[in-house]
Amino acid sequence: MKKIVLFVAIVVAILASYSMAFAYKNTILVDGKPFYYNIPDVTIKIDGQNFDTGKTPPLILKASTLIPVRVISEKGFGAKVEWDDKTKTVTITKDKTVKLTIGSDIALVDGKEVKLIAPARIIEISKEGYTYIPFRFLFETFGYKVEWDQKNYQINTTSPPKIVNITNFDTSYNNGIFSINITGDNPIKYNQGVIEDSGDIRIYVDIENAIWAKGRTDIEINKKSLVKAVIAQNQTQPTPKVRAVIYLKEVVPYEIIQSQDKTRLTISFDVGTSYVTGISFTKEGDYDKVIINADAEHFNTQRVGDNKIVVDISDAVLKMPDGNKAGQIPVEGNVITAIRYSQYNNDTVRVVSDTTSKTDYSVKIVDKNIIMLVIKSKADTVPLIYIDPGHGGTDPGAIGVGGLRESDVVLGIALKLNSLLTKGGFRTMMSRDSDVFVDLITRSQEANNAGADIFISIHTNAFGTPTPKGTEIWYYPNGYKGDTRDNKTFAQIVYNNLMKEINTVDRGLKEGPSLSVLNKTKMPAILIETAFITNPDDAALLQDDDFQWKVAQGIYNGIVEYFKRLKEGSISTTVSNSVYDTNNANSNP
């Protein structure tokens, strides 16, 4: 009995298999003509799953495999399908628009003609007409990968990869590890590589099928050998790709870690940690000397009001002999009355020197120590003007009419301004006085460390078309993030004097909170866009030596008026403590 049951089961299975392979037998109408169809079933798999086309099966006609447009477009792709009976045209819309006309072997994809291996046609099944077209065209047009399995009469398709919108690009630092973080709204697929070119080392990460909608974004790093990180849309066709690049001075150990859901990439560099192990004080004649024992490479200084000098040591951990994370050293100096220190945040040690009055100071690294010399400012000490000609060296800035380089033009103006200021009795300092590259962080740090009284950055403007022209000045918004430098007043005074000297289009003042030389400087700072290097009229002026002298004279006159009004007391350069606030009360300056 068991043998009979087993035999019957095997026969049923064979018959079922046969009926599945030759399940569809019917007379159909192709272009209105009867056709007896008796070919093995064609199955469709999308991402490994069977796709049921219902009562409109895929068909093989004249060596071409055809599929029903509506059911696959609507249920498979989520597309919209419209039929125009008058023109016998079917339109499929999703991300792109596809138009097919019955009887034609030409399809329109976003208006461009595409040749079909067989024409679109109406096939009548059970007295109802359906539009059929070649299977490969429909799937590949909507980004699917397609394979034909001849042995099993099977269409295997793979969905197009999802587009990843990169939503965030930032950096973080913790315990000697500096990280560049990239976040997307879908899983990230990436390739990585290293480019070494004349000592310039770049690590890149290419993110496939990705969109970065914010335009090129640069993050200045300047920690140990790390210079900066950049992200931009690398290409849009045939598939979008985003590239992130990390610039280094020399090779640093790193690793790339992807989150469990693959939506976040973290590129981590072992930059190491510096330690602040001691702070001491001595008097040397009229100078007060603060010695900070630290194997650090980077620090930043700023004067807060007239009674505090702040030194921030980055990538550093406080490791004092007593083990405390904050403390105070009472001193009896010429001007310094106390030195306070703390772990300001997880990667910065802050040292604050309290003074009896406004001081002049200099800070430098000597034999793994940070040395600060402080002296009381003399009543007749003249202001220190920091002049910053933009770009330079490997960074020519904007290229204008006739190949005119921004870096050359602004250097010429800056040297003329320096000459006027020196003759006028001012002290000056320049970020560069020749065609060399200076990174943005260094420019602001030099001015901060030198205790400059004002910061002037000189540039030329540029645009993608030659139409825009004129002069404008950018400043850090007063009150933005607690910054109470009177930048706008400073900008307005210089602008008024500049426009009296030159005859250019008046474009006024602009707020620039994201400009590095404005948001990282601690004294009143402005950025002057003298004229448009991409406009023929402005470019002709920028090349003219007399015009450059007029620009320099206008800026000089503004500086003179600014300090005159400061002395009279009608304006102020005050910077409030709120700029430097932190959650750690011990580290407030």
Active site residues: 529
- Identify which of 183, 128, 134 has the alpha carbon closest to the alpha carbon of residue 155: 134
| 8 Å CB contact between 123 and 130 | yes
Other beta carbons less than 10 A from residue 333's beta carbon:
21
User: Can you tell me the distance from the alpha carbon of 166 to that of 169, in angstroms, rounded to the nearest whole number?
Assistant: 8
Question: From start to end of 151-263, where are the E strands?
Answer: 154-158, 164-174, 177-184, 190-197, 200-208, 210-211, 217-223, 226-235, 241-248, 254-258
User: Can you tell me the distance from the alpha carbon of 242 to that of 248, in angstroms, rounded to the nearest whole number?
Assistant: 20
| 8 Å CB contact between 239 and 145 | no
Q: Which helix (H) or strand (E) holds 448?
A: helix 440-450
Q: Give the 3-state secondary structure percentages of the chain, helix then strand then coil, rounded to 5.
A: 20, 45, 35
- Angle of CA points 469, 444, 479, to nearest 5°: 75
Q: Which tokens is 150 given?
A: 């001849």
User: Can you tell me the distance from the alpha carbon of 49 to that of 159, in angstroms, rounded to the nearest whole number?
Assistant: 11
What b/e string do you get for 374-406 counting C-beta neighbours within 10 Å, with b at 16 or more? bbbbeeeeebbbbbbbbbbeeebbbebbeebbb
Question: From start to end of 47-79, where are the E strands?
Answer: 49-50, 59-61, 64-68
Placement of tokens 């628009």 in the chain: 97
The one-letter code for the residue type at 547 is: F
Whether the upstream peptide bond of residue 238 has omega within 30° of 0, thus cis, is yes
Other beta carbons less than 10 A from residue 457's beta carbon:
28
User: Can you tell me the distance from the alpha carbon of 204 to that of 215, in angstroms, rounded to the nearest whole number?
Assistant: 17
- Identify which of 142, 154, 133 has the alpha carbon closest to the alpha carbon of residue 64: 133
Which residues have C-beta within 8 Å of that of residue 491, sequence separation ≥ 6?
Answer: 473, 474, 475, 509, 526
Q: Which tokens is 153 given?
A: 């009469």
Placement of tokens 């503004």 in the chain: 558
